[in-house]
Amino acid sequence: MFLVMSVCLLATPATCHEERIDMTRGAPNPFICMRNSQSALAEWQGSHPDLTIKAWRCAAKASPSKDL
């Protein structure tokens, strides 16, 4: 499972891109991804102060990319 985020620059909010965090840590389980997502999002946000998380979702590794 991936935690897929749409992130935007704070200085120019219209400049966005997609970031992915591998949330597998064992079995690919959507519930585990959702349960652990808040701490992963907070950790990622803390290390990227120039970006803001606009939207996020959990997705299987094999799932096609789609707009958030």
- Element of type H or E holding 33: helix 30-47
- What is the pLDDT at residue 64? 57
CA distance 18 to 27: 24
- What is the pLDDT at residue 54? 96
Per-position pLDDT tens, the chain of length 68: 899 999 999 999 999 999 999 987 766 788 888 998 999 999 999 999 999 999 999 998 766 566 55
pTM, two decimals, is 0.81
- What is the pLDDT at residue 63? 62
